[in-house]
Structure 1
């Protein structure tokens, strides 16, 4: 496991997750905050302002297209997980090592905090600025919110592990776009109930900068359960793998062999895991 730390490709992948997460948060949450930003209702009167209603379709597409764009940009470096639940799913499906999964999650959380902090500085004029904070809608219980997060994350991670299954040769079209559409779909479903916290790192960034952790556990437990369930069901029921437990242990401790089998000065991490 320690040998991974000596590989430049390993650290490039971790840095890519950090930087891509900053951009993802800036684009996605920025789209939601932009809707609430005070704008002149009368172009001739700059003191007259109006706040537009929330546009769920715009926000959902911003989240989905941001993921698709960044997956295309850094997918060959890190796989562009950009989500701890996706990282957990890839770990359980033996696509990355435990060490890489841990550092990915740390990088994702730090990137989310930085991205949210940048938005906080830009959107200071918004009154009661929530910074994209997730929360339960009126009438939604903790159990119901947890269920929503499990289901929307389940469909996302199922999409990821199925598309990136190395045994398949029938996948056509754009894998990043398909995953981005899955993210958009999850937001179209869940925004009205919980604000959609299918990305724990994204939820964490808003909670830290806003210093508001009410019901925050839901946005970690739900996505992680959904992501783990999707990976396990796909790997052991829908499309069982023939590799034995020993092979899985090797991947979890040393990573995928093909990630590091070429000269490190020209190394590129395969996009398969994301």
Structure 2
């Protein structure tokens, strides 16, 4: 997807966000009903020195929302935690998405319902933690509509069902593993394929009977596209855009999914987009 197309899509999203902000109430509560969706803040209690929370987005049939990397179309969710109390650090974890392709291009999405686990480090361990979240996320069927919600929850108010949902979502977050790791799901190698633009051949191992899917992510200013696998479970990752004279090393995150399993492997590129 070209820079012009992505800028145009972002501009449309921002314009729709402006009008949607005046077209719906912005409640401050643990849950909020949005456009063909409902978002909730979950409270999972303590795990060691960390508090567990979750962002649950439930979607109407046929609607989708986006992963941290939306692909060729759409925008990722954005989170503002600045009004939270007694919070020193927040980390959002991401279960693996689904690859979805239509006339608008390839998108990386969630459907039905997704829970994003949240790990919260308190500023003071002996004081209560209150999360306040402003979230903007896209809801897509034929076109993408922005939705906005303002939520808050006390992490001292623990629901057993919330804890279970957060733990189930944590189990779906791809664990990190090195290139060439053992096991039935792994990124085996990343090699230069030459060509007019930087292109990589990525070989993977996947369980028998599954069709693997690969998601590639690079830093801001870089745009990479990923093919579907060939018969030998090899993918082509192409660097479509990159900053001019970019310094290396550049991290490239590869998320590999097959069936109900997923792993995440990070490799390095040089400034020209070639593997190091």
Task: Tell me whether the two structures share a fold, i.e. TM-score over 0.5.
Answer: no
Of Structure 1 and Structure 2, which has the larger fraction of its residues in helix? Answer: 1
More strand by share: 2
Q: TM-score, normalised by structure 2?
A: 0.30
TM-score by length of structure 1 reads 0.31
- The higher relative CO (CA closer than 8 Å, separation ≥ 6) is in 1
